[in-house]
A = this chain, B = another copy of it.
């Protein structure tokens, strides 16, 4: 199921989101309350933006609750924009390349959700990738693949349309191959400037997403589940929404896939 948290604002210590709160991301790695399972112990990762164009990336397969390195890094690194994730594996074994966030150039991405029938869709979806993206495919998760497809569909110039198309393509492909289309997609991504999130599911039953303003830091955080019990501080983002956090603040808009889009389906030989 996974849990994640992201922040954009004045530079904050990563621990202020990942370790310190009453129901921090590390706490959620063993006792999540709004996920299908309480345990998200199949690895973790943080991606943070600093002086470089590309973000830093630290991922490991240990449960987040037992990693001393994570605690030390989170306590030392201050960043104005970062993503953090704890994993409950659905597709793909436990190894660093299957931990989120994923990074490509200056883009980072993390995901909570899954692609139904992924084992049937995986190959045709990988076939869609152009060579330079295929070459970077390092793991076996549906999450990494959605990210690579979005890069193919123009993430670097138009992020939300790119994911809209990627998800619509996956839904079309499933139907085309005779399966029930099903994508659950509560994700966050960033280019180091804006922080984006999407909450979407084919069956309108996407994993939860909350936002909170952190006025002292002139910032916002986005989370799978609130980091504390002050429920009035946490705005529940509705299903079928996109969030953009930029220098101007936070903006919510409708996110739906375009059912009228027509795709050339990849050639999939009968096997």
Known pairs A39-B39, A62-B61, A131-B123; A75 contacts B93 (CB<8 A): no
The residue from B56, B63, B69, B95 contacting A72, defined by CB atoms under 8 A apart: B56
Determine how close the nearest CB of chain B comes to the CB of A24; give it in whole angstroms.
17
Counting every copy of the chain, the complex holds 4
Which of A134-142, A228-236, A246-254 lies on the face that meets chain B? A134-142
Asked if A271 lies at the interface with its beta carbon under 8 angstroms from chain B, I say yes
- A: residues with CB less than 8 A from B are 30, 38-39, 41-42, 48, 50-52, 55-63, 66, 68-69, 72-73, 75-78, 89, 93-97, 119, 122-123, 127, 130-132, 134-135, 138, 140, 271
Query: Cβ of A135: which chain B residues have Cβ within 8 Å of it?
Result: 119, 122-123
In the bound complex, do residue A63 and residue B60 qualify as a contact, i.e. CB atoms below 8 Å apart?
Answer: no
**A30-B119 Cα distance, complex, nearest whole Å:** 24
Known pairs A96-B68, A135-B119; A56 contacts B42 (CB<8 A): no
